[in-house]
Structure 1
Amino acid sequence: MIRTRTTWAALVLAGAALGAAALPAHAAPATTAVCPTGWGSLPETDSSATAEPVTQVRTGRHACYDRLVIDVPGAARDDLGYSVQYVDRVQQDGSGRPVPVDGGAVLEVRVAAPAYDPGTGTPTYPAQVGHPLPGVDLTGHRTFQDARFAGSFEGETKFGLGVRARLPFRVTPLDGRVVVDVAHTWTASG
């Protein structure tokens, strides 16, 4: 019985050695993602505007950043204005009421598109001022901590995005959406 165990142990060790030898020489252990650099934390704006309404807001998690996407179907990239900047507090346009947003730092995200049909005034995005964004779950996000609707007034829609700290971000307007990426760190690795 002892001889059988010894034989099995020898076979397992030999198999492990062969398995290790079968790995290509260039295989390396997984490393931290190399993240883009060159983003900053200063305001980013574009003064364009569209009458196309906001219909949805969603988020995503990536190796180097968290992403906020504001959908404005039918709007051309060149017509999508925006303003994204760090603020001490987010205020509702028109009334000036503060919109509480949790986080170590707060980004005010403004899109030059209404959250209602301009012809009828009917809401196109089902959010309530001061409440979390409908359908947005921030569980597992490294950077995003809170996302609140700050209202839609005179053709512009505003959101408060609570982030872990004042971190670099970028804004990318695309056909039908505005994308805001906020990095996990200031360094070039995730």
Structure 2
Amino acid sequence: MRRIGTVLVALALAGTALGTAAATASAAPGGASRAAAACPTGWGSGTKGSPDSGAVPLSNIRTGRHDCFDRIVFDVPGGGDHIGYYVQYVDRLHQVGSGDPIPVSGGAILELRVGAPSYDPETGGVAYPGKVAQPLPGVNISGYRTFRDTRFAGSFEGETQIGLGVRARLPFRVIQLPDRLVVDVAHSWN
């Protein structure tokens, strides 16, 4: 009888220890259970778009890191609630207009076209200082989980084209906000 009682007490203590460890892991920042439960799914990796060429220039491109995704933001002051875009995975980035290839590092390449030129359509002056085939100015993606490279591909007929090198072909979403276009690329498929 004592042996069975000892075994039951040991099992009860082991169960309590496992429960405490699981609760600690899910409460800890970056805990596997917390990240899996909080990360959205179902974005997909197919082409997304809402056509429209812009007359309002692009002013800035910036990036950010989040628990579940890496983010790139296109600032278009005066662009309103609808900024045209076209986002798709490509085997190789080709500059719109010339067709010239632009090398982009990473396991996959996401082509982003935003309906906002990098120049002022009224004056022709530079609004966004990107240089063709060069990394985006002022954007540092070192330490990002998903982003690997950024390349400016130029502006043509009211659109600015960017090549975004990512770790692998991963799901992404596009969000329209007033005067901004946001593209989030998930860290994983779950």
CA distance in 2, matches of 1:93, 1:85: 14
Q: How does the TM-score come out when normalised to structure 1?
A: 0.82
Partner Cα distance (1:175, 1:48) in 2: 15
Is 1:28 matched with 2:24?
A: yes
Match of 1:86 in 2: 89
2:77 — aligned with what? 73
After TM superposition, the structure 1 = structure 2 runs for residues 28-177 of structure 1, keeping only pairs within 5 Å, are 28-29=24-25, 30=28, 31-32=31-32, 33=35, 34-78=38-82, 80-177=83-180
- AA partner of residue 184 (structure 2): D
Matched with 2:187 is 184
- Which aligned runs of 4 or more in structure 1 are off by greater than 4 angstroms? none
Letter in 1 for 2:180: R
C-alpha displacement at 1:94, in angstroms? 1.5
Deviation at 1:87, TM superposition (A): 0.3
The worse-fitting range, judged by mean Cα deviation, of 28-37 and 53-62 is 28-37
Q: What's the CA shift string for 1:119-147, capped at 9, x where partnerless?
A: 11111000100000000001110000000
Aligned residues with identical type, % of pairs:
61
CA contact (8 A) 2:70 2:184 kept: yes
**What's the RMSD between the two structures over aligned residues?**
1.5
Tell me which protein shows more helix as a share of its residues: 2
- Give the letter aligned to residue 74 of structure 2: I
Q: 2: CA distance between counterparts of 1:178 and 1:155?
A: 15
Number of equivalent positions: 162
**Counterpart Cα distance in 2 of 1:28 and 1:86:** 39
Gaps of 5+ in 1: 1-26
For 2:116, give the aligned amino acid: A
Q: Matched residue of 2:24: which SS?
A: coil
Q: Which moved more, 1:47-56 or 1:132-141?
A: 47-56
